[in-house]
Structure 1
């Protein structure tokens, strides 16, 4: 096959995958199942257009695809989103996976007359939920946010557990003197190295993103791809869990304010879709329907055991001490979709030439088909029946970023106004934008509208906001208010300090005070307004709830407006760099009213 023909085939397969995704949406069936079916149709037992029987190549494709999917999952989630559900997510990832593997193993031993270790290996292959399937399910769901984030956290953390189980049981089968202590040591080694590698690479990437200016915005996704590859490769080279490392690196990167953040997330979402299509096409090509006849009855029964018994029981036990209702535990149990992960894991024993490994691979295929059909197609109706859905998407709608002008210290973001947003019907003057942010255009019905204070925001509008990087971290809270309220017009007023004169104080800034660039509370007072943000170093001029003003930075000064002005003028009398002098002049001007 020539280079041109190879590229043509690749393009045709991607186009066919996109068509399958569109068809799946119309038929209300999971798109991943159609990708798998497309691969089987094109494979040796189908049309015979593509002959693929290389398990090692398929495993390699699967590992790369799963790494890309996990990185995108961590990047889109962010630690602040999964922190409230971190405990149940980890318990499901660890004990839920172990419980599912154990119950499935007992059924596999009985159905296929396997040895104990072979049964445990089959159980390990089928134990993990699939990140791609879960993320795809949640993107089209209106499940309660807490349940959705719990499933998202589990999907990110359970793949390393299942992979280690599979590797451990293969070693145990091949080496009779291998045992439980060896597997425990393997878990500790792999997970600890993966944890450290993921966090180190993730935080190093955040540090680099904040200090390096690229010539074009298109290089930011390249840098994020390098982050994921470095995390996985470093952990794997040190005999750690690359899957845990790549997920954590994505989580760290997605949890911090970095330039072109939404551009990076959008790029990796598209890359994850390509990975899903490629993964399921490759797995479909590797499945030979003519070989399924010997195990289809027992394989289907085992898949039903996983769906109706192993996963629900394990999920209920893993979350027994968390605050979930019976209905929520039922939904968590039913949401344990098996996707490409079990089939990828089933290639491990085939490559290791474990006895009956081809049977294991075919069993995994049935588990994927049954789980995707039953759980994927019925999850949303079941959640609605249990009263666990809302009017909002399970995963929050992202802010679509249109570009970065980071060299000038600012970014441009685009916010699509939804029909149910609290901001609909409000005039622009009530948006509550920080001083260092500006609504520069509204796009409505394909036309650009210059905004005025009286312009009313309508559903379907796209608000293009120019903001300084110093106020970027305030923007998510503002978006939350635009979406959900409470939405009251901003009233410009100054609280009055009662009880006599105002005392002035100054002292060094300490770590206990928090971030000087974005203080939220100073002593017993709450920051109620950000008046100015310092640009050359962390610092701000803020208004406190008791009516006093404060300047933050290397030192903290608190007092009345006139007192802060005098303090700023004294600083201006010193020999200062130009940037510092500009800051103190800005403070004086802000308070001169």
Structure 2
């Protein structure tokens, strides 16, 4: 056991972020890796026990972390996003949640053997999925828009309601089991919940007004938001325990829908904080479990409960609640299967486990074991099957990584056409209908709009696209587009055409972190590339084989050939860009822009060969 609290904090941080990196590197569900890391560090090897190490700070830290995570998720809940999905989302977060509560409570009583009181409390907790588990799975699985949006909205909206249902069930049980029944506690709970919603709305409105009216300097916006979230959560939670989650959800949704110009910058800040907190909290919770809790997981009644929750309760509640909602059978099947439980379920259950045990309710000692069994089972099973099931149901955007090309012109259309021929998902975005005319004539997937506008988030499904290429005639605009989308795509996946040395903007002195990587060097910008096409240059696809190697290709290619990208055998794309060593091996395809002379010589050789064969 580590004695130094500072060392414990370091171990938790390293395990959390290390688990996220391992999950990214090997394409594994992050929650599964973090759970295993926490179990190894805690009950199995006994290196840390955060609950003892942090003492009285443990629960407040977990609560605030969950509040920030939930707030960050609710910042993404813009009502424009669910346009056309209002009915299924509403059904699932209302009737679906109630059905899941009732069915889960019946299962907990009759299968797990919990008393009615404990069963209805635990049933309320287990309707939650939550952003801590849903959002990482959505990033990993590349679902199509409809199921992805439904799962995201359900996870974030139902999260606070699950905690509130548990509190409501607990207060109702205390009221019914009391010798002298007093309805004031129930009334207080309902009033506290209403107060939490109003408080979150007011906080969101006030913060939004301060940010937009200039009463808050730019450098203080993110820290002020951070402090406001903690204040909003704490005030509501002090009035009534667990209503703080409802308050921060209302605050986040208010900010997401009032149109703050700087909301995207703050969202990126909150995403970074959220990822750090998710990693930390999951390690803290799993490493705080005991060996007795882990042994209880393998009791027959707990295993039976978990199986029924997976294969009966969740699918049944989704199928019944979405009757007549317009969802296809495939979409219902996927949504009905995916329901991983996460941090909110663990934290709320750990709170009620001690409270119910203190009140002497039968079965309360099993709550922690039951919760972890369901959490660990669902994150493992759903984490490893979501991608497979989505492909089987044709609800996955898996395939070759695609590219968004900003700017419609002769070169970008020709590049998109080559990508399309190689079955690479590609779309051209431009704010001018006139410039898009050629893309329409070429049959290239395109959309009209300003890529920098917020509306494009709801116009384009970004899921199939891993790369962004800004290919307009304006160097400074290309740099702006790339800088804007670095947080979305990553610095290694955002590109712009080379600066125009003669007629372009003079951007030689801009920082190397601004504007994305330059493509296709030593070409000299869009005008030169368009000129080459006008002069007869052609796009050529060359396959590399064991007989015709990369070195042979380099030796044979014309000195004026512009190397564009390599389509790897693994379906990944590697662009020829600055500071990037791109090579090709057997099975890869090289795409280049070549002078016409080589094409003409090949045609002449073919004609000559045909004549000789005929003679």
TM range (shorter): 0.5 to 0.7
Partner of 2:31: 32
Sort the Cα spacing of 1:182 and 1:329 in 2 relative to 1 into closer, same or farther, 3 A.
Answer: farther
Partner of 1:310: 313
| Deviations 1:456-481 (CA, angstroms, capped at 9, x unpaired) | xxxxx99959xxxxxxxxxxxxxxxx
- Is residue 100–residue 306 contact of structure 1 (8 Å, CA) maintained in 2? no
Partner of 1:375: 382
Which 10-residue stretch deviates more, 249-258 or 55-64? 55-64
Partner of 1:276: 278
- Is residue 126–residue 342 contact of structure 1 (8 Å, CA) maintained in 2? yes
**Are 2:321 and 1:325 aligned?**
no
For 1:433 and 1:270, the matched residues in 2 are separated by 27
For 1:349 and 1:142, the matched residues in 2 are separated by 36
Partner of 2:521: none
For 1:166 and 1:227, the matched residues in 2 are separated by 26
For 2:56 and 2:312, the matched residues in 1 are separated by 32
For 2:449 and 2:125, the matched residues in 1 are separated by 52
Q: Secondary structure at the match of 2:124?
A: helix
Q: Secondary structure at the match of 1:164?
A: helix
**Are 2:332 and 1:348 aligned?**
no
Trace 1:422-571 onto structure 2 (pairs within 5 A): 422-423=428-429, 440=476, 442=478, 449=499
Partner of 2:150: 150
**Are 2:255 and 1:249 aligned?**
no
For 1:190 and 1:196, the matched residues in 2 are separated by 10
- Is residue 383–residue 389 contact of structure 1 (8 Å, CA) maintained in 2? yes
| Deviations 1:87-127 (CA, angstroms, capped at 9, x unpaired) | 43233223322222222222222233332222222322322
Partner of 2:265: 263
Partner of 1:163: 163
Q: Secondary structure at the match of 1:278?
A: helix
1:36 CA drift (Å): 2.2
Runs of 5+ consecutive residues of structure 1 not aligned to the other structure: 400-417, 456-460, 466-593
Partner of 1:107: 107
TM-score (norm 2): 0.62
| Deviations 1:130-165 (CA, angstroms, capped at 9, x unpaired) | 221011111223222122222221112212221122
| Deviations 1:211-230 (CA, angstroms, capped at 9, x unpaired) | 12655x44221122133234
In the comparison of the two structures, how many residue pairs are matched?
436
Sort the Cα spacing of 1:31 and 1:451 in 2 relative to 1 into closer, same or farther, 3 A.
Answer: farther
- Is residue 64–residue 230 contact of structure 2 (8 Å, CA) maintained in 1? no
- Of the three residues 401, 409, 421, the one matched with 2:427 is 421
| Deviations 1:190-230 (CA, angstroms, capped at 9, x unpaired) | 44323222222112211110112655x44221122133234
**Are 2:345 and 1:338 aligned?**
no
1:182 CA drift (Å): 7.9
1:311 CA drift (Å): 0.9
1:265 CA drift (Å): 0.9
- Is residue 335–residue 375 contact of structure 1 (8 Å, CA) maintained in 2? yes
Partner of 1:404: none
TM-score (norm 1): 0.64
- Is residue 198–residue 247 contact of structure 1 (8 Å, CA) maintained in 2? yes
1:323 CA drift (Å): 1.0
**Are 2:286 and 1:287 aligned?**
no
Which 10-residue stretch deviates more, 48-57 or 199-208? 48-57
Partner of 2:71: 71
Partner of 2:117: 117
- Is residue 32–residue 383 contact of structure 2 (8 Å, CA) maintained in 1? no
Partner of 1:221: 222
Runs of 5+ consecutive residues of structure 2 not aligned to the other structure: 407-423, 437-447, 454-471, 480-493, 506-511, 517-615
Sort the Cα spacing of 1:251 and 1:311 in 2 relative to 1 into closer, same or farther, 3 A.
Answer: same
Sort the Cα spacing of 1:435 and 1:245 in 2 relative to 1 into closer, same or farther, 3 A.
Answer: closer
**Are 2:143 and 1:136 aligned?**
no
